[in-house]
Amino acid sequence: MKTQNVSISNSDKIAFISNLSTMLEAGIPILESIDSLLEGSKGGLKKILETLREDVTQGKRIHFSFAKFPNVFNKVTVNIIKASEESGTLDETLKDLKDIIAKENEFSDKIKSALIYPSVIVIVFIGVLIVILTFVIPKISLVFTRLRVELPLPTKILIFLSDLLLKQTIPVVVGIILVSIGMLFLFKRNKRFFVSVFISLPVVSGLAKEIDLTRFSRSLYLLLNAGIPITGALELAQDVVVKKEIEKAIINSRDAVQSGKKLSEGLKVQKKSIPSIMIKLIEAGEKSGSLEKSMQDISVYFDYQVSKMLATATVLLEPIILVFTAVLIGAMMISVIAPIYGLIGQVGQR
């Protein structure tokens, strides 16, 4: 298995970093710590530990091994580990890193939780549609065919889909699988494009911006706390955001810092992308000489803001999705019932 393709769960990553930090803090040698963690490990984690042991045995540092697993350890994490190894604070940095990964995991879980309800509704709707097309429509269409009733267009579409599903089941299933694989392939090839389109949607855009600011401030805190110079920290932190406007603001701020200005001065030019409260907190941190602490406070603030926005969005989304689903199912039922009422009307006239 290539190291570039190795991945592990967030819980495994947290446990690995936490255990390694505890062992190093207790004074256990790095090789002995790795051997202890290797016992009972499996899958991707075992591959990481084996690679780590091999590299450490050859005299290489931990960050060198971590850099081989981009799906597990991003550039920010690798550079934080590198800086901590150079400064001799690896055990403390690992402890901070564990807390940040745990917060990031919790952060991701909040987003996933907000998407669970819409996903369940969509699955239920597809299930109802399949039941109607498989069991209801065939019986109704048989009656309509015998009586030679003129059917409205929606009813004809339902009958066509039902016939297609029942008479061409294998080709339909194969077609759905091929389309799904094709869409997945396109998404992987053009992931950044699809993500940019999604996060530009009216409701999602504001939320994506808050998420970017949370991750940026959290990453910058970690990098600065590890002793990485601010220009290098900004260059690395720009990789954790997805919105172009935030990435551009970070790049421009880095250029401003390189020209001798303060970070707050560089961000003031980007007022449309960066909230004033963030600039004020950074300004206060620069004056007091505790910029990394200000970045930590900013990440906590935006984390709360995102949680609040997600909760509000979920509350608003639930009734909208329910109404939308009810309208679709209602339209299908009307397409079935309307011709029946037409038949009853014809019988009544006779």
For 266-319, what is each residue's pLDDT tens digit? Answer: 888 877 888 888 989 999 998 888 888 898 899 888 888 888 887 787 777 778
How many CA atoms, within 13 angstroms, populate the side-chain half-sphere of residue 220?
29
Residue 77 CA to residue 219 CA, distance in Å, equals 9
DSSP 8: -
- Tokens found for residue 73: 């350890």
Mean per-residue pLDDT for 82-109?
A: 79
Residue 44: what are its φ and ψ, rounded to 5°? -65, -35
Per DSSP, the three-state class of 350 is: coil
Chain centroid to CA 276: 27
Residue 348: is its pLDDT beyond 60?
no
Q: For residue 347, give every residue at least 6 positions away whose Cβ sits within 8 Å of its Cβ, in sequence order, or none.
A: none
Q: How far apart are CA 292 and CA 221, in angstroms?
A: 5
- Start-end of CATH 1.20.81.30 domains in the chain: 3-73, 91-350
What's the alpha-carbon Rg for the chain, to the nearest Å? 28
DSSP line for 258-307: HTT--HHHHHHTTTTTS-HHHHHHHHHHHHHT-HHHHHHHHHHHHHHHHH
pLDDT tens for each residue of 12-30 = 888 888 888 888 888 888 8
CATH number of 3-73: 1.20.81.30
Q: Coil, strand, or helix at residue 68?
A: coil
Over the stretch 102-148, which tens digit does the pLDDT of each residue have?
877 777 777 777 778 778 888 888 888 888 888 888 887 777 777 67
pLDDT at 210 over 70: yes
pLDDT, position 349: 54
Among the residue ranges 62-71, 137-146, 206-215, 272-281, the one predicted with the least confidence is: 137-146
Average pLDDT over residues 313-340: 78
Does residue 252 contact residue 105 with C-beta atoms inside 8 Å? no
Q: In 58-168, where does DSSP find H-type helix?
A: 62-66, 75-87, 90-131, 137-147, 153-167
Q: What is the pLDDT of residue 346?
A: 59
CB 6 within 8 A of CB 48: yes
How do the residues of the chain divide into helix, strand and coil, expressed in percent and rounded to 5? 85, 0, 15
91-350 has which fold?
Answer: Receptor-associated Protein (1.20.81)
Work out the average pLDDT over 311-332: 79
